[in-house]
Copies of this chain bind each other. A is one copy, B any other.
Amino acid sequence: MTEEKAREPQERGRERRERILDAAFTTFAERGYRDTAIDDIARGSETSKGGVYFHFPTKEAIFRELMRTTADRLDAKVTRAVADEPDPIAAAAIAIRTVLELFAGHRRMARLLFLDAFGAGRVFHDEVDRLHTRFADRITGYLDRAVADGVIPPLDTRVAGQAWFGALNEIVARWLMAEKPGHLLDAYPTLLALLLRSVGVGEPTVATLLAAGEERG
C-alpha cells in the first residue's frame, strides 16, 4: 500500500491488470473457462470482483485477451528463434522444434491454448480459429518460400500448412491428455521427418535437419 502510493497511479493500474491476467491464466488453465468464476480470479489477483470489472468488461474479454497475448508470446518466440535462418525449410524445422520446446516447458500454456477450450464454447471457437489460422498461415508462408526457392516441388501450400499444423497440434494434444506423458520432444524427429517428406524434401536434407536438431537439443 505505502509503496504503491509512491508509484504513478497509471502504473499501479497496469500492474493490477497484469495480476488479474496472471490469475486468470492460472485458473483457466487449471479448471477451464466455465469452471472459473470471476471470484476465483479476483481472489487470485488479490482484488475484488469489482476490481476485475474495472479492468475488464466481461469474463469473455479476459479470456480472449489471454488467448491472444499467449499466442503473441508464442509467435514472438518463434519469430526470434527463426530470425537468422534464411532457408525456409530449416526455418520451419526450427519453428516446430521451438513450439514443442516451449510447450514441453510450459504445460500450462499448452493447456490454455489447446484444451481449455472445453467449457468455453462459442467464445473459444472464434479464438481458436484465429490461432490455428495464424500458425497454419505462417507455415504456409515458409512452404511458399520453399516452393519459390525451388527447394520443394509446387503444391497446395494452404492445405499443407493446415495439415502440418494439425499434425503438430494433435501430437501436443495427445501429450497433454496422456496420463503419464513422456518427453514431448521425443516425438520431434519422427514428426519433423514426416512433415518434411510430406512436402517432398529430399532425404539428405531431412537427415541434415534432424542432425541439426540433435545438436541444438
Contacts and interface: CB of A to CB of B under 8 A. Distances in A.
A84 interface: no
A168 B165 CA distance: 11
A104 interface: no
Contacts of A160: 190, 194
A20 B168 CA distance: 38
A214 interface: no
Interface string A11-37: 000000000000000000001101100
A89 interface: no
Interface residues on A, range: 35 or more
Interface in A120-144: 120-122, 124-125, 128-129, 132-133, 136
Contacts of A166: 166-171, 173
A198 B191 CA distance: 9
**Interface majority SS (helix, strand, loop, mixed), chain A:** helix
B132 A124 contact: no
A174 interface: yes
A171 B162 contact: yes
A34 B115 CA distance: 16
Contact of A122 (B118, B136, B199): B118
B35 A122 contact: yes
B177 A163 contact: no
A181 B201 CA distance: 30
A123 to B, nearest CB: 9
A183 interface: no
Nearest to A115: B125
Given A119-B121, A166-B171, 5 more contacts: A118-B118, A155-B190, A163-B167, A167-B167, A194-B199
